[in-house]
Amino acid sequence: MAWLGKRNSLGATHLICRTLIVFLRRSFRDALVVSLPGRFVILQKIQPMRCLHLLYVLMFLLGGGLLGKFVLQDKSVAVGAAIPPALCRRCWRSVRRFRLLRNRMAWKAAHNPWVQAFEWIRTNTPENAYFAMDPNAMQMPDEDQHGFRAIAQRSLLADNVKDSGAVSMFPALAEKWQEQVGANAAGKSFSFRIFRN
């Protein structure tokens, strides 16, 4: 893309692409240094490879511009007519995939039993209550990746699904996470009682 930009005098395209190359090299070098064991481990929290987000956005913008200039040229009307159906198809797939999407909307009443339970906990339990739940609950049918802590606004022992990502970023939490997940897993053998007011 840098070569095309320079060859065709496309303004700052060449400069942006060359800068992105230097940026990527430095970020990759930083990521390698951070991944080495030793004194740089603390810098892993910065997540140097997140710089790729900026790189991807700019590459898509530049690539789309070059594609429009050199390949599509006068076909922009045909491409413009093809985009809305493709977006509608993609949107329909997303709605089908997340059939319980309406439960995520704050202004609608929850129909998902998991969300209803989490909302009940929020309104009927003390704020300092601490909960234990199956560590793989977020992968259970109809749970639909709803976050207990976000909806119930209560503390919860660590889980296997979401909290494992935090442990990968903060290895010092690993022992505590493993202890809590083990305690949660052992909870499957408990017998439960429901207490009513």
pLDDT of residue 54: 85
pLDDT at 192 over 60: no
Mean pLDDT of 59-71: 80
- Closest by Cα among 143, 150, 148, 139 to 99: 143
d(Cα 109, Cα 70) in Å, to the nearest integer?
51
Place of tokens 């797939």: 93
Question: Among 26-35, 98-107, 120-129, 172-181, which stretch is predicted with the lowest mean pLDDT?
Answer: 98-107
d(Cα 155, Cα 185) in Å, to the nearest integer?
17
DSSP element (H, E) containing 84 = helix 76-97
pLDDT digits (tens, 9 = 90+) for 116-162: 888 888 989 898 888 888 777 777 777 666 778 888 888 888 777 77
